């Protein structure tokens, strides 16, 4: 029996604090009690039998006193009782009493109440004794013609189960059900009947489908889903049937049920790779994403679209649907938008890039007007990055995009989007010479409106680096003077302050107000107010505001800017007087900033580094040496050029790797498979998707990386007790995403019968035990498997501990207890490598509050080898490019990043060195700093690194 068929029918919760009742008291309640007492007694009997008690003396009592009752609750409980009660003698023969029970079943199958008939039919599906079923066959057949659909559909299920288990009892079942299906009108009954034909007699199911293939779109969704499954299985087993049924699948893409459309689209893709089929399926997926309100559904269907894109032949078809895919951006969820933009970016081509950019520009402008949603800023950031990538790949688009985006440089609360815009502008102005005049003009327009100091510094650098005409240089100087206000700053500020103190005409007294207190008495309130309460703050120019707040890093940046434009002005303009005038103005600005820094006016004094930089710039302008002129005007730009070239090369390399992965390599000596010559059992080119999804839902999927599944299973077996303990136990720990299944083997090593043998478990960490394992009775030297489910809520090292308690049969002593070893849950089962940009890494590094510093203690002597060892043992991804890590300098710094399946981020910074002075065999030393949002994640990852630092000698 496969795992999919090994079904548990009945789950009953047992309160653990109750004492088991005696057989005598139960017998009395079942014989003489009221209906309520009998119900309670029957429940207790069921629980005792589930716990391993036999209770043979009660069987006849229940047949005599409980079976004739007509109460519906008792009838339902009796069905559970007959399911679990032993029905055979020790030698395997059916108990004589069961003949009486069989007669009761027959009466219930002819009962006028449809609930009793239906529930009895459901119960018969669970019976495994053909002797009991044989007398009931005429009554079961008669139920197929009952007026109520509940009875008819359960009759179909009963016939299917009996036919599958004991075909000789009803050999004509497929024919019977086929005739039933032709005349049936109820959707649920038709679905059950059709499902039976699929599994019992597929040819009959196909014959029925062929007769009504044009009416499939009128069927109910539950029947349509089964039809899709049948078509998939038939075409999977016999590809020549595809042409016969593919039109039906096309029709089901128009079904009113989203579930049917989703399954039909998935089936269509597996059955046909024709462009029209792929386009129809993709269009169906896009409609589902737009119309379904659940974000989880949207993400699942988006993943299907991304899977389609991975196939090289499908990509071109999807490129025509980029504009339809962008309709998904109407969804407010950020994760959906992120995936959609990434998919659109992967599919963009020269044919559709113009339309894509127009849509994205509209979206960016829309975000400017919407501020109430918390994710608006992040969404704008995503849009800017997407436009940036489009412009880099298609330079013709940059001219349309840049003017729109540069409006966002003036934002105060969207520093992240503004920083991305600035990065985009910097790359565009360096790479596209023809756009420089446009960018400079637009930058000068928005420069005075920039409110963020970081953006201001970047804008200053761009203006200083790329202003090459006399007029542009003059404009930059004008803007700087406008942003700085009146100079010298110190004198001007002192005058302002003294002026504000004296200006009494601006201060007035507000009229007194008469107010009534809670006690009814009058009070008078007056206020002294100024007509310009925050004139200093409001009218202060931006650059002056930054300097008075104590941010003198921008002053150092300003000094460099002034030096660059002054040196360039001297080279362009030949008039000595004008040259001296411009240089003197630049030096005056620097001097006044230095003076301000040394005064007591700013909130924080100027730092020594900034003083050195401004002093250096003053020195360069006073001497104008050719070497410094070359450094300021050429070397800076060359450095940027090198950095952009390296980044572009890295992107191209990663794209090449991706395309190589996706390209299907066919070797010259690969065998050619001819479909007509292939035996049915050899057609394993594609796995059965329905079977795979069922196994995935049950957590039975084998991991692909495990070459030997048996070996990987044995690695996860944990010994819980010693070999000399009376009870030996070991557990196989199966981690299935959000839950852990413990399969515990318990072996009775004694010659006694162990009763009420219970596995008691407790958890430490963010783990939760779902259900308490039920007690067992173990015969001498017998063994049993106990399963326990543990739910996982977050990524941290969890510990499961517990013991096994049992009673020895016939002994008067207390319960015996065997303490189990702890089971440690490995955090690596939840951590997956992930990637993020440097900016995102730095932002998260600053935000995350939990840090764990791990000292390197290893026997590895090579820096690169140690880094690779850490990456493999922690599942993290190295964000630092290989080029930066190549070569040997005795020191290495790298950033690592990973994400858990619960969406938690983990960052790590590796700073290691090779102590050369200790010789070539000296081990690597240094530190690893881990940061995470939660304490558990940081500590668990640190523990993992500590445990796996040393390389085991093979």
- The least confident of 562-571, 580-589, 805-814 is 805-814
Q: Encoding tokens for residue 245?
A: 């049924």
Distance CA 212, CA 201 (A): 18
More confident residue, 699 or 567: 567
In eight-state DSSP terms, residue 94 is B
Distance CA 746, CA 149 (A): 46
Residue 784: strand pairing partners? 746
Q: Position of tokens 């399946």? A: 901
Distance CA 726, CA 816 (A): 10
- The least confident of 273-277, 469-473, 698-702, 753-757 is 698-702
Residues in the chain: 954
The pTM of this model reads 0.67
Q: Please, where are the H alpha helices in 20-148?
A: 23-32, 35-50, 58-65, 72-84, 98-109, 114-124, 130-133, 137-143
pLDDT, mean over the chain: 79
Mean local confidence (pLDDT), 225-248: 79
Per residue in 787-802, is it b (16+ CB within 10 Å) or e — as a string?
A: ebebebebbbbbebbb
Closest CA to 774 of 787, 762, 763, 764: 787
**What is the pLDDT, as a whole number, of residue 268?**
85
More confident residue, 516 or 11: 11
- Model confidence at 685, in pLDDT bands (50, 70, 90)? very low
Other beta carbons within 10 angstroms of residue 313's beta carbon come to 11
Q: What is the pLDDT of residues 272-294, one digit of tens each?
A: 778 888 888 888 988 888 888 88
**What is the pLDDT, as a whole number, of residue 795?**
65
User: Does residue 746 surpass a pLDDT of 90?
Assistant: yes
User: Does residue 950 surpass a pLDDT of 50?
Assistant: yes
Share of the chain above pLDDT 70, in %: 84
User: Does residue 595 surpass a pLDDT of 60?
Assistant: yes
User: Does residue 462 surpass a pLDDT of 70?
Assistant: yes
User: Does residue 728 surpass a pLDDT of 90?
Assistant: yes
Kindly tell me the burial class for residue 100, based on how many C-beta atoms sit within 10 Å of its own C-beta (0-12, 13-18, 19 or more).
middle
Distance CA 751, CA 779 (A): 8
Domain 829-949: give its CATH superfamily: TATA-Binding Protein (3.30.310.10)
- Model confidence at 622, in pLDDT bands (50, 70, 90)? confident
- The least confident of 366-370, 619-623, 723-727 is 366-370
Distance CA 803, CA 823 (A): 12
CB 888 within 8 A of CB 874: no
Q: What is the pLDDT of residues 134-160, one digit of tens each?
A: 888 899 888 888 888 899 989 999 999
Q: What is the pLDDT of residues 442-460, one digit of tens each?
A: 888 888 888 788 888 888 8
CB 339 within 8 A of CB 299: yes
**What is the pLDDT, as a whole number, of residue 436?**
81
The three-class DSSP label of residue 510 is coil
Extract the runs of DSSP E, i.e. beta strands, from 464-608. 507-509, 513-516, 522-525, 528-530
In eight-state DSSP terms, residue 779 is -
- The least confident of 189-193, 263-267, 623-627 is 623-627
**What is the pLDDT, as a whole number, of residue 609?**
87
Distance CA 413, CA 253 (A): 45
Q: What is the pLDDT of residues 686-716, one digit of tens each?
A: 555 666 665 655 555 444 444 444 455 677 7
User: Does residue 317 surpass a pLDDT of 50?
Assistant: yes
Closest CA to 345 of 389, 292, 408, 291: 389
In eight-state DSSP terms, residue 573 is -
- The least confident of 183-192, 506-515, 906-915 is 506-515
CB 340 within 8 A of CB 299: no
Q: Omega before 488 cis (within 30°)? A: yes
User: Does residue 172 surpass a pLDDT of 80?
Assistant: yes
User: What crossing angle do the helices spanning 202-211 and 187-200 adopt, rounded to 10°?
Assistant: 140
- The least confident of 314-318, 505-509, 566-570, 632-636 is 505-509
Mean local confidence (pLDDT), 889-913: 87
Paired sense of beta strands 783-792 and 739-748, if any: antiparallel
Mean local confidence (pLDDT), 396-418: 71
Share of the chain above pLDDT 90, in %: 4
User: Does residue 504 surpass a pLDDT of 50?
Assistant: no
User: Does residue 359 surpass a pLDDT of 60?
Assistant: yes
Distance CA 425, CA 440 (A): 10
875: phi > 0 → left, psi -120 to 50 → alpha, else beta; which? left
CB 143 within 8 A of CB 107: no
CB 156 within 8 A of CB 180: yes
User: Does residue 200 surpass a pLDDT of 50?
Assistant: yes
CB 357 within 8 A of CB 339: no
**What is the pLDDT, as a whole number, of residue 896?**
92
485: phi > 0 → left, psi -120 to 50 → alpha, else beta; which? left
- The least confident of 2-11, 826-835, 910-919 is 2-11
Q: Encoding tokens for residue 310?
A: 């991975």
Q: Position of tokens 């040394």? A: 598
CB 853 within 8 A of CB 929: yes
CB 858 within 8 A of CB 924: yes
Q: What is the pLDDT of residues 822-878, one digit of tens each?
A: 888 777 777 888 888 887 888 889 888 889 998 988 888 888 888 888 888 888 888
Distance CA 48, CA 33 (A): 19
Residue 735: strand pairing partners? 740
User: Does residue 669 surpass a pLDDT of 80?
Assistant: no
Which distant-in-sequence residues (6+ apart) come within 8 Å of 878 by Cβ?
867, 871, 885, 894, 895, 896
- Model confidence at 668, in pLDDT bands (50, 70, 90)? low
**What is the pLDDT, as a whole number, of residue 931?**
92
Long-range contacts of 112-120 (CB under 8 A, 24+ apart): 113/72, 114/146, 114/148, 114/150, 114/151, 115/72, 115/150, 116/72, 116/75, 117/143, 117/146, 117/148, 117/151, 117/154, 118/148, 118/150, 118/151, 118/154, 119/75, 119/76, 119/79, 119/154, 120/79
Q: Encoding tokens for residue 522?
A: 């009058």
- The least confident of 314-323, 421-430, 479-488, 506-515 is 506-515
Per residue in 123-143, is it b (16+ CB within 10 Å) or e — as a string?
A: bbbbbeeeebbeebeebbbeb
Mean local confidence (pLDDT), 745-757: 88
Q: Position of tokens 């989880």? A: 296
φ, ψ of residue 807 in degrees (nearest 5): -110, 140
User: Does residue 131 surpass a pLDDT of 90?
Assistant: no
CB 512 within 8 A of CB 528: no
The three-class DSSP label of residue 644 is helix
Q: Encoding tokens for residue 626?
A: 């050719």
Distance CA 866, CA 734 (A): 30
Torsion of CA 454, 377, 428, 352, to 10 degrees: 180
Share of the chain residues as helix, strand and coil, in percent rounded to the nearest 5: 60, 15, 30
Q: Rg (Cα) of the chain, in Å, rounded?
A: 39
Distance CA 288, CA 295 (A): 11
User: Does residue 535 surpass a pLDDT of 70?
Assistant: no
User: Does residue 69 surpass a pLDDT of 70?
Assistant: yes
Mean local confidence (pLDDT), 877-906: 83
Parse the chain into domains and list their residue ranges: 348-447, 452-494+540-638, 714-825, 829-949
**What is the pLDDT, as a whole number, of residue 909?**
92
At the topology level, CATH places domain 714-825 in: Immunoglobulin-like (2.60.40)
With vertex at residue 121, the alpha carbon angle to CA 119 and CA 125, rounded to the nearest 5 degrees, is 110
Distance CA 507, CA 531 (A): 6
User: What crossing angle do the helices spanning 258-271 and 221-237 adopt, rounded to 10°?
Assistant: 10
**What is the pLDDT, as a whole number, of residue 1?**
35
């Amino acid at each position: 029996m496969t795992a999919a068929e090994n079904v548990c029918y009945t789950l009953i919760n047992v309160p653990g604090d109750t004492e088991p009742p005696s057989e005598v008291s139960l017998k009395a309640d079942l014989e003489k009690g009221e209906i309520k007492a009998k119900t309670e007694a029957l429940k207790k009997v069921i629980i005792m039998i589930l716990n391993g008690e036999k209770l043979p003396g009660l069987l006849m009592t229940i047949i005599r006193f409980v079976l004739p009752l007509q109460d519906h609750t008792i009838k339902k409980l009796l069905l559970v009782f007959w399911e679990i009660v032993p029905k055979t003698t020790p030698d395997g023969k059916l108990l004589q009493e069961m003949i009486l029970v069989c007669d009761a079943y027959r009466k219930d199958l002819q009962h006028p109440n449809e609930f009793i008939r239906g529930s009895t039919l459901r119960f018969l599906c669970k019976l495994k004794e053909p002797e009991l079923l044989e007398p009931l066959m005429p009554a079961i057949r008669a139920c197929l013609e009952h007026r109520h659909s509940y009875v008819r559909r359960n009759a179909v299920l009963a016939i299917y189960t009996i036919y599958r288990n004991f075909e000789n009892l009803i050999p004509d079942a497929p024919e019977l059900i086929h005739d039933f299906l032709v005349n049936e009108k109820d959707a649920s009954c038709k679905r059950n009947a059709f499902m039976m034909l699929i599994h019992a007699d597929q040819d009959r199911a196909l014959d029925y489908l062929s007769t009504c293939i044009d009416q499939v779109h009128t069927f109910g969704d539950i029947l349509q889903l089964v039809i899709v499954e049948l078509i998939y299985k038939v075409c999977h087993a016999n590809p020549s049937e595809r042409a016969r049924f593919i039109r039906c699948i096309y029709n089901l893409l128009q079904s009113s049920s989203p579930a049917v459309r989703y399954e039909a689209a998935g089936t269509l893709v597996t059955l046909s790779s024709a462009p029209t089929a792929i386009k129809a399926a993709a269009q169906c997926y896009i409609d589902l994403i737009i119309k379904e309100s659940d974000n989880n559904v949207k993400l699942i269907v988006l993943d299907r679209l991304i899977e389609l894109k991975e196939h090289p032949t499908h990509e071109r078809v999807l490129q025509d649907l980029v504009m339809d895919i962008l309709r998904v951006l109407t969804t407010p969820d950020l994760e959906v938008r992120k995936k959609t933009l990434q998919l659109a970016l992967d599919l963009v081509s020269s044919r559709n890039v113009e339309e894509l950019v127009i849509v994205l520009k509209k979206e960016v402008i829309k975000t400017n007007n919407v501020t109430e949603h918390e994710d608006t800023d992040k969404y704008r950031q995503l849009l800017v990055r997407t436009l940036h990538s489009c412009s880099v790949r298609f330079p013709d688009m940059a001219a349309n995009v840049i003017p729109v985006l540069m409006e966002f440089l003036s934002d105060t609360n969207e520093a992240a989007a503004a920083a991305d815009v600035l990065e985009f502008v910097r790359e565009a102005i360096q790479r596209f010479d023809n756009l420089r005049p446009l960018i400079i003009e637009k930058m000068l327009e928005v420069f005075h409106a920039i409110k963020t100091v970081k953006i201001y510094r970047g804008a200053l650098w761009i203006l200083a680096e790329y202003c090459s005409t006399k007029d542009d240089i003059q404009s930059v100087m004008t803007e700087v003077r406008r942003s700085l206000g009146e100079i010298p700053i110190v004198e001007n500020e002192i005058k302002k302050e003294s002026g504000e103190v004296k200006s009494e005409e601006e201060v007035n007294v507000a009229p007194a107000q008469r107010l009534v207190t809670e006690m009814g008495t009058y009070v008078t309130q007056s206020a002294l107010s100024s007509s310009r309460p925050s004139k200093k703050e409001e009218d202060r120019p931006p650059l002056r505001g930054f300097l008075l707040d104590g941010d003198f890093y921008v002053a150092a940046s300003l000094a460099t800017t002034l030096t660059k434009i002054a040196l360039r002005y001297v080279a362009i303009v030949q008039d000595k007087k004008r040259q001296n005038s411009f240089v003197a103005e630049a030096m005056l600005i620097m001097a006044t900033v230095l003076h301000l820094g040394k005064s007591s006016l700013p909130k924080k004094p100027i730092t020594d580094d900034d003083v050195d930089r401004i002093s250096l710039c003053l020195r360069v302008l006073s001497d104008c040496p050719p070497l410094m002129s070359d450094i300021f005007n050429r070397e800076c730009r060359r450095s940027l050029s090198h950095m952009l070239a390296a980044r572009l090369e890295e992107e191209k390399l990663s794209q090449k790797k991706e395309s190589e992965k996706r390209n299907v390599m066919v070797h010259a000596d690969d065998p050619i498979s001819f479909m007509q010559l292939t035996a049915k059992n050899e057609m394993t080119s594609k796995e059965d998707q329905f079977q795979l999804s069922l196994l995935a839902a049950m957590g039975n999927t084998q991991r692909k990386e495990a070459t030997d599944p048996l070996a990987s299973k044995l690695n996860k077996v944990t010994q819980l007790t010693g070999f000399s303990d009376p009870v030996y136990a070991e557990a196989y720990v199966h981690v299935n995403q959000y839950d852990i299944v413990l399969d515990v083997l318990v072996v009775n090593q004694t010659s006694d019968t162990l009763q009420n043998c219970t596995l008691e478990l407790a958890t430490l960490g963010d783990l939760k035990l779902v259900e308490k394992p039920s007690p067992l009775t173990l015969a001498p030297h017998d063994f049993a498997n106990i399963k326990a489910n543990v739910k996982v809520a977050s990524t941290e090292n969890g510990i499961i501990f517990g013991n096994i308690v049992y009673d020895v049969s016939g002994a008067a002593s207390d319960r015996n207890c065997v303490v189990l070893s702890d089971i440690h849950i490995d955090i690596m089962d939840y951590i997956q490598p992930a990637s993020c940009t440097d900016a995102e890494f730095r932002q998260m590094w600053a935000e995350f509050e939990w840090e764990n510093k791990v000292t390197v203690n290893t026997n590895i002597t090579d820096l690169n080898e140690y880094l690779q060892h850490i990456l493999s043992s922690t599942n993290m991804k190295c964000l630092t490019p290989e080029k930066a890590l190549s070569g040997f300098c005795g020191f290495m710094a790298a950033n690592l990043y990973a994400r858990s399946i619960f969406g938690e981020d983990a960052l790590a910074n590796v700073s290691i060195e090779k102590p050369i002075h200790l010789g070539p065999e000296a081990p690597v030393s240094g530190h690893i700093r881990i940061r995470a949002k939660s304490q558990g994640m940081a500590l668990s990852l640190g523990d993992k690194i500590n445990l796996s630092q040393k390389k085991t000698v093979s």
